[in-house]
Amino acid sequence: MLFDITHPSAWAPGVIEHVQNQLMLLIHANHCNKKDETNELNVLCGLPPRYPICNLPDCQKFKIVLNHMKGCQLGSVCKEQYCWSSKQIVTHWKACKNEKCALCSHLRSLQTKQTK
Ligand SMILES: [Zn+2]
Ligand SMILES: [Zn+2]
Ligand SMILES: [Zn+2]
């Protein structure tokens, strides 16, 4: 996938949806990883799992991607399908301050709703 992460507003509509979806899954998988850890800890202590098992089809895939990204130093030459694009997307997401950003604004409004 080729796109210029610094100018999301210049992307074709299809690309924005695609990248938004990927970012959503990355954020989800990150949360989900933490829930998994809590569950495993509970089970180790003989307690029932605290969170229900996640059944999002792509979640497992992106947990693997996140794991890979933590150790990967290859950058843009990495052969892992989602590695480099995900790094760019997450870096943008963390740094983006543009309230009207074509990529982030929709997700941010979703997140504010969730925390309320
Ligand atoms: Zn999940
Ligand atoms: Zn990689
Ligand atoms: Zn943005």
Residue 7 lies in a domain: no
Residues 68-86, mean pLDDT to the nearest whole number: 95
Number of domains composing the chain = 1
Residues 25-31, mean pLDDT to the nearest whole number: 96
Residues 6+ apart with CB under 8 A from 19: 3, 8, 11, 85, 89, 103
Residue 1 lies in a domain: no
d(CA 75, CA 25): 20
* pTM score: 0.86
Q: What is the pLDDT of residues 6-23, one digit of tens each?
A: 888 888 888 999 999 999
What is the 34 CA–ligand 2 centroid distance (Å)? 22
What is the 110 CA–ligand 3 centroid distance (Å)? 14
Percent of the chain exceeding pLDDT 70 equals 96
State the DSSP code for 51. Answer: S
Residue 108 lies in a domain: yes
CATH at residue 84: 1.20.1020.10
pLDDT of 1 over the 80 cut: no
Residue 5 lies in a domain: no
What is the 115 CA–ligand 2 centroid distance (Å)? 32
pLDDT of 55 over the 80 cut: yes
Residue 84 lies in a domain: yes
Which residue range is the domain that position 60 belongs to? 13-115
Residue 8 lies in a domain: no
